[in-house]
Structure 1
């Protein structure tokens, strides 16, 4: 019987709703979404191109920034096709296996981004607290291992949660309340005991985000202690400025992520528009804002952007 249910589930079709009540405006609503996706793709590809082509940026801090850009796009791009298929009235259908694959990428890269932010916090800790050993500690080989470990940790952790969905019968509604697939949204439709998924999902969020956020907090405690020991005011300001972009990136990821989790778990009876709004902020805000923040706050990235946008003489004059 379990095999039959699994077979039926794997071949089943689900339906995405888009933004309920605003179906007549879907084409207009797609315009800001299109602009946000384009801004996120262009911004992160620009960051990657600048880091790739400028040998001066082949340093640990910028390698981690490149990882952040990749995870930003990994979070948002898997939703793009299904969202525009719904908003442009092409199709609302999505197959179960495509839905699970979409969830896998969204949740894997969101957890990976949290790990990358932890790695960036450790990078700032080493740069400020142990500057003379910075290049010795954070070698390219170690950075590559950190990136691979972050991705594998997230992928392995999320797999049991999504694998169980194949054994759930969805005998009632097959209508999902978003323009893409989220695990929290799908388990609502299962007419089976979803206690494992609910508990495992909560533990996963608590452990992974908890470990990463605790590591980030601890790193900044040591950073703050070290910065306050710097004699000159200019030196303290310079040290704090090197951390400002990272702190903004942490807030941009964690605030929407925590908000979405709270809404899905503890505000189930709130307006559906709030759920949809939070879900899109969670996926689109970090990819759009992170490149802007790092372009504004990081001199080397800002110079790289100016070299791309302005003729050499003008960019030299501006700098």
Structure 2
């Protein structure tokens, strides 16, 4: 079989032309920990979200970090009591994005960030409750994940209280953590939003990286199911915490026409093995999405055969 030059082009090109960046809307009030979450999940040094003063967030602004060009963030304040403007702004923004014809311009997922409350704290403001009740009408098929943040703070307080009461037993404490979390977060959420609401718990402490991986995996799975496979693949490329997803994306892209053609011993007339391997090299580099501002990894294969 004779193969023309089109079959030697990078398989990632087609995906990234359709969806060059994963577009995420993050909703959460000041101090909930949005910046730390985004930094860890997408390997970004600095995130400009409204963590300091109310009124700062511009939901239409696209934040694209120079060290991760495959991710674009939209930031919204939380929907606090007595402030309907943020709710209306977010609702209108989502509606406009849903009507855009191209996948690249649509919102691919929403993270609603809520800090785990103290024992006497309120989990959901009235605006958040309304948003959750109307989420299917507002979002359509866009997946929304409720992210309970600052799990490490919650755990530390429970452990400290247990030690102060001289009733510190590991097994009993673990049960207490789960029961308290269910009472403060899971049950109130399901009462308002129903049992089918997606949710997870995160901590941005380095030793709790598995919680971020769970969030990434949950997001990717539902984007692939409800939005588009191209958006899910771009999410796998954009995230920088789950190596398993990078491998999965490499395999998925590896099934595209170029790799499939090479493995079936096509006759690439006019192309050397180095030409073929260079295409594979580009696909691998694109999927792993290294911070490579000078494109050193893209060119080294051609220059040195690495």
TM-score by length of structure 1 reads 0.28
TM-score by length of structure 2 reads 0.29
Query: Which structure's residues are more often strand, by fraction?
Result: 2
